[in-house]
Chain A
Amino acid sequence: MVKKIIVKNAEEFFLPLIWTGEENEIKYDIDLNKEGSSIKLLMLIIGSNNNWADVDIKITHKKPNTKSSVIVRGVLNDASRINFNGLVKIDKGSALSNAWLAAHLLLTSDMAKGRAVPSLEILENDVKAGHATTVGKIDESEIFYLMSRGIKEKQAKQIIVQGFLQGLLNDFPQSKEKQSALKQIKYAI
């Protein structure tokens, strides 16, 4: 089911999401419906076993001077799969709006699969919008570098995964879900 959110006031709407395998469908349709309103959506994804999910995030800037930031980081272990679609739409009349969409998926196993597709639909001229997506395996040269300093392979991979998530985790509020997600990272690799 799609969750509909309409942001109607000028304070930043903060939406932290965590996925660790429970649901197969995460869908949000978010409208920025007041001048000066903004949303910051953070999503932490930890996939393990053969868990999978489709993630669809749609954000529509409907008023001028609105701001959206979607930041997704996922670590996919074992045979887990994530299919991420992010769409940011800036409607006509929403001048001076600012949109940023980033999704990065790190695969720690040959069986894991990730797909991240960003789309921008911009109908107004005077706006800023950008996106960045990557899907990739842990860099072998990073593993070799850490191992050359006496760190075991398994620990090197954990360090790299922690580093990959660090920026997102710093911005993430403390919660039971966050703690248990972090534990999953440690056990999964």
Chain B
Amino acid sequence: MKSLEIKNLHAQTTDGKEILKGVSLKIKQGEIHTIMGPNGGGKSTLALVLMGHPGYVITQGKIFLNGKDITKLTPDKRAKLGLFLGFQYPVEVPGVNFANFLRMAVNEEKQKKDQLSPIAFRNLLLEKAKKLSVSDEIVKRMLNEGFSGGEKKKAEILQLALLKPNFAILDEPDSGLDVDALKYIAKTINALDFPLGLLLITHYQRILKYIKPDFVHILLKGKIVKSGKAILAAQIEKDGYENFNS
């Protein structure tokens, strides 16, 4: 069984501020886990640390992907082993064509004989883009450059759909989206044509109307203080995070 397992993870910024103070979590393939929590609780740090961001140092604990210890691997190696991060703030890379880049990334994981030609990839990209209600213009555009907030978030999901990882961490895929865009994103995630384990980081319960989590975890001050089923999200919506403060 494929899994993403985080064991007692402690991480700090390169200037020594401890953000994660012992996070443990196991996600199996096919499961949807949601992490909720107030600002500053460590949600985005967890996402970045899992992908291997150089701005953080893991001081204790380990990360396992499908049984393999990836704690010290570079981000590209983690990606190749099947991990994906959907960024809260996707980075603009000027002058780099979105479609060419994504084709390169998709082909990176394939044997030479299975690699997609520019035309085959273009057709695939357009098909997936349509499902997300992303304009055909996407094939001409530069990587996130000049994209609106909503377009950036959709483009992350488009990359997820084409890269087909085993596990994806989506860092607030819902922030800054209108309801229609949110529905398209949720629909695409629910209709992925490959098995995925999902770690969905969100601030609001709104997206959980469309994507049903199997488990909900509350991350507060660098620790998971409570885990439960979907009902926990509803409880937070009602009572806030303050009850978990102890």
Binding site for B on A (CB under 8 A): 139-142, 144-153, 156, 159-160, 162-167
Contacts and interface: CB of A to CB of B under 8 A. Distances in A.
Nearest to B143: A163
Given A149-B105, A149-B159, A150-B108, A162 B95 contact: yes
B173 interface: no
Given A142-B91, A144-B75, A159-B93, 10 more contacts: A147-B79, A148-B76, A148-B85, A149-B105, A149-B163, A150-B163, A151-B104, A160-B93, A163-B96, A166-B96
B142 interface: yes
Given A140-B54, A142-B91, A148 B96 contact: no
30 contacts: A140-B55, A142-B91, A144-B51, A145-B87, A145-B90, A145-B91, A147-B52, A147-B75, A148-B52, A148-B75, A148-B76, A148-B79, A148-B84, A148-B87, A149-B76, A149-B159, A149-B163, A150-B76, A150-B105, A150-B108, A150-B163, A151-B108, A153-B74, A156-B76, A160-B96, A162-B96, A163-B93, A163-B96, A164-B94, A167-B95
B130 interface: no
Contacts of B108: 150-151
B229 interface: no
A147 B96 contact: no
A153 to B, nearest CB: 7
A90 B163 CA distance: 53
Interface size for chain B: under 10, 10 to 19, 20 to 34, or 35 or more residues? 20 to 34
A151 B74 contact: no
A160 B79 CA distance: 19
Nearest to A159: B96
B101 interface: yes
Contact of A164 (B52, B80, B95, B104): B95
B86 to A, nearest CB: 10
B157 to A, nearest CB: 14
A146 B93 contact: yes
B136 interface: no
Contacts of A163: 93-96, 142-143
B69 interface: no
Contact of B54 (A144, A151, A152, A166): A144
Contacts of B84: 148
A163 B52 CA distance: 24
A165 B85 contact: no
Interface of B: 51-55, 74-76, 78-80, 84-85, 87, 90-91, 93-96, 101-102, 104-105, 108-109, 142-143, 159, 163
Contacts of A149: 76, 79, 101-102, 105, 159, 163
Nearest to B145: A163
A42 to B, nearest CB: 15
A159 B74 CA distance: 18
B172 to A, nearest CB: 16
Dominant SS at the A interface? helix
A140 B85 CA distance: 16
Contacts of A159: 93, 96, 101, 104
Contacts of B94: 163-164
A52 to B, nearest CB: 26
Contacts of B52: 147-148
A164 B142 CA distance: 12
Nearest to B109: A150
Given A153-B76, A159-B96, A148 B104 contact: no
A107 to B, nearest CB: 16
Contacts of B90: 145
A146 B104 CA distance: 11
A145 B74 CA distance: 12
B169 to A, nearest CB: 10
B79 A150 contact: yes
A144 B74 CA distance: 9
